Structure 1
Amino acid sequence: MERVVFLLVLASACSVLAQSTYYSSYYGLKLTQADVDQYTSNGTLANCTNLIAPCDPNEPRRIDGTCNNLNFPSYGATRTPYYRILPATYYKPSSTVFDPQRTKSGKEPQLARKVRTSFFAEGRVDDEVLASGTTHFLVFFATDITNTRDTTNYVSWRTYCCKPEGAADTACAPNLVPETDYVHRFSGIRCLNMTRPLTFQTSGCLPPTTTPLRIVDATPTHDLSPVYGNVAEPARRTFSGGKLKTVEVNNRSFPDTSSIGLLLGINFFGIIFFWRHHNFIATQLAAVNPTWTDEQLFATAREINIAYGNQLLHYELLPLFMGHDYMVKRGIIQTGAGFRETYKETLKPQISLEYPVVLRWLHTLQDGDLRMYYTNGTLHSTFPVVDLTSNTDFLKEGDNMDYVTQGCFRQPTANSKDYIVDPDIVERGLGRLQQSNDIMTNDLAKNRYFGFQSYIHYREHCFKQKITTFDDLIGIVDTVRITQLKALYEDVADIELLAGLWVEKQAAGTHVPPTFACLVGDQLKHSIHSDRHWYERQNRPNAFNAAQLAEIRKAKVARMLCDIGDAVTVIQGRAFELPSIDNPMVSCKDIPAIDFTKWKA
């Protein structure tokens, strides 16, 4: 039966394909046949174009993200170009190489590794509030909209950038290690393998004389694309009961990794949870609508799952980090329970180029140890997170998934206020795949290739505050960090965006620096206002009714883990925060559940 359904879906897809039109992924414009032939002849058709079926204004959200904006049907798909908050600046902007910005006096910037090690010592200090599930979910949601192939480039394709042959490859951009490095002066390692980021230019979509711009494999809206894919993929579906395919191991359900690839373990958790959650929702819908078809169940479960994820992200997780009042003040969330009309068709569904840079600050929160707990809250064992890269089968062994799930709400994150980072994150970032890898050094080094303006200009963008001397940073940055900045940067205008975020004091009552909150807030507003299918809208295709939206408002990560987590029977109500007197463990029976009868036809 499944094969018959698959063939019918394939036949339907072929019919739609015949009516489809090619668009330029960068410019968002229709292509002529001559354009298509040119892309085909030079081998760039797959990277630089999107094949789009005719848009229907009344259809629901497409899996491939197309037709979100009816005026620009390709924007919303993979390879949608980023926009910039501030214009690019380069050392030689007319050069086809686009070398990273130099200091104000024309010197090369300090080695990225030296900057990172100057600000951060290595060790493990627990946060007192945040549970490790926050990092699992934040990484998952970041991957939902910013997935790139950069790591694959230097791990699998160009492993030689620190060797003599790397000098001849312009794609290589290894991170040199100072001889005085606190760790590698003993190891003898003087170079960490890395490549330049992949761009529209390196992919052949734009001339090399144009300003470099990242090319991305993810759709730019929060649509759970790590779960559902960026294109319609029948292999992910069972075509029965509206469910996604799973494999059963030790009486536990897992995604079929042949459909989604091998991902970093910390991201894989999120995929497991939302994958399972889809099937949980589909089962509940089938119980109240026994006559619904597989397609009805799948589409409705997907719509609810996406809405649930956005409710978690915007109303539970990010207010914890950036402050509930700030989120309301910026218009990112509302205090009422009803609908809100947010859509602006003049805005294209895009991500700012600065957004993934800012999100990299979150590596300061990441713990290198995965702590696993028994259901009674006692520690079972630990395992290095970095060794889960390409090793997701670890979660299928024995009762590991049970222990890991308990750790999501019992293990603290790393403390981000102490200028101490986990040694595995900055020395073994790729586990067994590379001898040494400093994720935070990579973060700083890669973003030098996109010509971001100085931290002080983003501070001015956010707060209309001009900074012209290091003394102007008093009150924004701790005095000891200002001293470090002076040792690393000749002029206050030389401070890089990410480096500035690293040292900026966190805002009172939050867990993030103010400029982080500002730039993230800018993007969240853009994402909400540019998404025609945003779940809080009443005037959209297949919109929830008032009763259904009220059920979505109940979404809590605690309820999600109770519904799909292995061996979860008790959990704290605010599961992104550690258990405490003010946040006690309660029975899953006491946490409000979604009433799926509101979707009864």
Structure 2
Amino acid sequence: MGGIQYICLLAFIIGASLLTTTDANSSRDVNAELNRIPASKWLQYVETALDSVNRQKRLEDNLLGSDITVKNGSLSHAQLLDTLPSLASKKDNKLALKILKSSLLVLNSECLPNNIDGDKCRSYLEQKPLPVGSSLRTECENSLKGNREGHHAFRRLLGSSHYRNGFYEMFLNVGRRETVPAAWSISKELYEPDHIQTSKQQTVDSNFNLALPQWAQFVEHDLSKPVSQSMSNGAPIECCSRDQINLQPRHHHPACAPILYKPGGKYDVPSCLNYVRSALAVADCNFGGAEQLNQATGSLDLSQLYGFTAAAERKLRVLEGGLLRSTPRGEFDNALLPIATDTEGPSFCARETIGDGTCFAAGDSRVNSSPFSILIYTIFMRNHNKVAAELKQRNHRWSDEKLFQAAKAVNVDIYRRVVIEEWLPEVLGQKMASEIRRKQPNRALEVSNEFAVAAIRFYFSMLPNELLNLTKDNVVYGTEKNNEYVFISKELPTKNLFELKEEIYKPKLQYTSQKLNNILESLLNQETMKMDAAYSGGVVWHKDTKPTHADILAFDIQRGRDHGLLPYYRYLESCVLSRPVESWKDFEHFIPSDVLDKLKTIYASWADVDLIVGGISENPVHGSVGPTFSCIISEQFVHVLQQNQQKAVQKHTELVEQYRHFNGTKLLCLSSGLSAVPQNIFQLPSARNQMVSCEDV
């Protein structure tokens, strides 16, 4: 089925599901029952919820008094940086939690006693305004009138959520209550300990280089940032002890949903990885269920580099010559990102002590998530400053503000075109990437929950444990008997440039301009891991010992459940099959038999398979991902393209046109010290993708 068919079918299913969720008679019964609730009782539920919030503050005081906090340099600190909330996000979440608590009181006091299930109750409450005259209604209305820094709720592709109570209660593996397997156990079962020892053909993708997953992460940072909840005073929440074991119940914050794994012995203590539930958004001043907040702007605007707000952007500017801060100031070709100040450090790097290695600052707390990330942020910082310098030479009288905004417009346009015209076809395939340009989206331009916490996270499956030292001094290009244009490794003086697990939010490399050149050159020459359910050991924790780094797949599974994503089969039905899934057999055409057999041993039912697990298990089609993730990603980019069209009419349009000749090759050449790069920067060098001299671009 073609890409455009996926999107059309998805839109059809969305419309159909919204019409058929509850039959008319049932809706009338629910309305009749709940309409009997007097106004005084609605007000009482709100006031009781506010009292509950105050009681939670006392619990938080006890936690802080017991030193149950996130420690600098801990695994929880690194996880926090991935989901670091702003002050505005914390404020939105506090308000949203008050509304949710009010709604849960109605659920438990009115709906369930009258045999109205959670989904029907939620549908009713989402149309019910908060009581007029209540302090919560006033607070909500004032919030919606104010500057919310572009925050919005993630939208849901199929219109409904997947919670035990219809509102917020996660499906978890707790005692005998659930049949769903624990997130960490799924990750461990899917991990293949001999993955690296198997033949190279079985584990790596001979088409794509590591720039493809690198850019996927950068795009994710731009479009999506779910953030974690915080205590009432803004302090981060800790759900595990310093020894990485589960806390006593009296020390559990209500927002905790730690990722636990019990090795299996009778007296074994479960290992614990911190997971704090995502912050919630306020969409309107009605009752209702949980909807997660997106702190990112949701458009391709390089907000991860420039900041999500005007205030954040100003901190990153030199305020002279239209330049962004860099290290050292005034350098263009060899500049590094600005070094985080002592005050900024804990918001960018997971270090025990200030000054322990290099820590960079940018518009997003995720900049130091890996050397791959640091590199691409640096490339676009350099490009901005080079453009600003060129504009200043031609326009001596332009102010700093005019130079900055013009250089930013050019930089963003170059970035958008590389993403849409070069990166996206490698992810979706050329045909689907072209077709989405002709599709008109509905009016909702927000990022989908399914894209943010599942589909765009595919890139972690493609990352290796280490970046090999494949710089120009260590490789030569030549031909072999099959007329393939390949690199031939010499004896490497240094086997690898870094191990990924050692660098996540803890930059240990001695960063120089030459070091970044080495990383870029090696990245362009190294194959990705194959897109599959077996992540490399650098991003999952597969041992039965105390974890020393995070488990990305377990985290993504847990977050999908936190966000109430529907099971995998629902999206397969909507995007691909156009009919109901009835058994494991319906997965056979999309998931390799050996992986499917493994899923059958992990999950009690095909209906329980998590979206992220099903998506990464599919065979890639046309591009680098399977049909379900292709569908979700393409649907999102229909909306992204529409936003780009709306923003294209701007005062810098004529200037932007002067840089239309920029492509990925030119961007990398002019923003690095490399002498040559592949013509297609996302594919390995080959006879079909030859190296281009940077002198010729």
Q: TM-score range by the shorter chain?
A: 0.7 to 0.9
Tell me by how many angstroms 1:575 deviates: 1.6
Question: Would the alpha carbon gap of residues 282 and 360 (structure 1) be closer, same or farther in structure 2, given more than 3 Å must change?
Answer: same
Structure 2 residue 200 is the aligned partner of structure 1 residue 93: no
1:170-569 superposed matches below 5 A: 170-179=254-263, 190-200=270-280, 210-232=288-310, 233-248=313-328, 252-258=334-340, 259-260=361-362, 263-265=368-370, 266-331=372-437, 347-356=443-452, 357-378=454-475, 380=494, 381-392=496-507, 394-397=509-512, 399-417=514-532, 419-427=533-541, 435-463=548-576, 464-507=578-621, 509-531=622-644, 533-535=646-648, 540-542=649-651, 544-545=653-654, 548-549=656-657, 551-552=659-660, 554-565=661-672, 567-569=673-675
CA distance in 1, matches of 2:136, 2:549: 43
- Offset of 1:39 from its aligned partner? 4.7
* Conservation of the 8 A alpha-carbon contact between 1:147 and 1:217: yes
How many Å separate the matches in 2 of 1:496 and 1:320? 25
Alpha carbons of 1:393 and 1:303: their partners in 2 closer, same or farther (altered >3 Å)? Answer: farther
TM-score, normalised to structure 2, is: 0.65
Question: Which whole-Å deviations, capped at 9, do the CAs of 1:176-197 have from their partners, x for residues lacking one?
Answer: 22425xxxx8xx7732312232
In the TM superposition, residue 487 of structure 1 has moved relative to its aligned partner by: 2.3
The AA in structure 1 aligned to 2:248 is: E
Structure 2: which amino acid aligns with 1:163? N
The yes-or-no answer on 1:578 pairing with 2:649 is no
**Structure 1 alignment gaps of length 5 or more:** 1-21, 53-73, 334-341, 592-601
Deviates more, 1:454-463 or 1:207-216: 207-216
Deviation at 1:284, TM superposition (A): 2.2
Residues 94, 469 of structure 1: alpha-carbon distance in 2 compared, 3 angstrom cutoff: closer
In the alignment, the residues of structure 2 paired with residue 190 and residue 101 of structure 1 have an alpha-carbon distance, to the nearest angstrom, of: 15
Alignment-mate amino acid for residue 686 of structure 2: S
**3-state SS of the aligned residue for 1:420?**
coil
User: CA contact under 8 A between 1:348 and 1:530: conserved in structure 2?
Assistant: no
Among 156, 159, 165, the alignment partner of 2:248 is 165
Q: SS of 1:252's equivalent? A: coil
**Secondary structure of residue in 2 paired with 1:129:** strand
User: For residue 146 of structure 1, what is the aligned residue in structure 2?
Assistant: 224
SS at the partner of 2:456?
helix
Q: CA deviation at 1:148?
A: 3.4
Work out the CA distance in 1 between the residues paired with 2:522 and 2:415: 20
Q: 1:191 to 1:212 in 2, by over 3 A?
A: farther
Q: 1:474 & 1:94 partners in 2: Cα distance?
A: 31
Partners of 1:312 and 1:557 within 8 A in 2:
yes
* Contact residue 322 and residue 517 of structure 1 kept, 8 A: yes
- Asked if structure 1 preserves the Cα contact closer than 8 Å seen for 2:225 and 2:294, the reply is yes
Please say if residues 101 and 451 of structure 1, whose CA atoms lie closer than 8 Å, have aligned partners that are also in contact: no
Structure 2 counterpart SS, 1:325: helix
Larger C-alpha radius of gyration, 1 or 2? 2
| Alignment partners' CA distance in 2, 1:248 and 1:467 | 58
Separation of aligned partners in 2, 1:168 and 1:313 = 42
Quote how far apart the aligned CAs of 1:318 are.
Answer: 1.3
The 1:221/1:34 distance shift into structure 2, 3 A limit, reads: farther
Deviation digits for residues 257-280 of structure 1 (CA, Å, limit 9, x no counterpart): 435356312322221111111111
Identity %: 18
Q: Are the aligned partners of 2:461 and 2:530 in contact in 1 as well (CA < 8 Å)?
A: yes
SS at 2:468 equivalent: strand
Q: Is the 8 A contact 2:239 2:258 kept in 1?
A: no
Q: How many Å apart are 1:549 and its aligned residue?
A: 3.8
Question: Cα 1:325–1:35, aligned 2, differ >3 Å: closer, same or farther?
Answer: farther
> Would the alpha carbon gap of residues 478 and 411 (structure 1) be closer, same or farther in structure 2, given more than 3 Å must change?
closer
Query: What is the rounded CA distance, in whole Å, between the counterparts of 1:384 and 1:156 in structure 2?
Result: 28
Instruction: Supply the AA of the counterpart residue of 2:523.
Output: C
Tell me the distance in 2 between the aligned counterparts of 1:434 and 1:219. Answer: 34
Supply the AA of the counterpart residue of 1:291: R
Give the Å deviation of 1:253. Answer: 0.8
Distance in 1 between residues matched to 2:531 and 2:246, nearest whole Å: 35
Query: 2-side partners of 1:416 and 1:151: how far apart?
Result: 32
Counterpart of 1:594 in structure 2 is none
Tell me which amino acid in the other structure corresponds to 1:447. Answer: G
What's the counterpart of residue 212 of structure 2?
A: 134
Aligned to 1:11: none
The size of the alignment, in residue pairs, is: 507
CA shift, 1:112, in A, is 1.5
Distance 1:465 1:289, change over 3 A: farther
User: How many Å apart are 1:374 and its aligned residue?
Assistant: 3.3
Alpha-carbon distance between aligned partners in 2 of 1:156 and 1:435, rounded to the nearest angstrom? 20
Give secondary structure in 2 for the equivalent of 1:467: coil
Q: Which stretch shows the higher mean deviation, 354-363 or 367-376?
A: 367-376
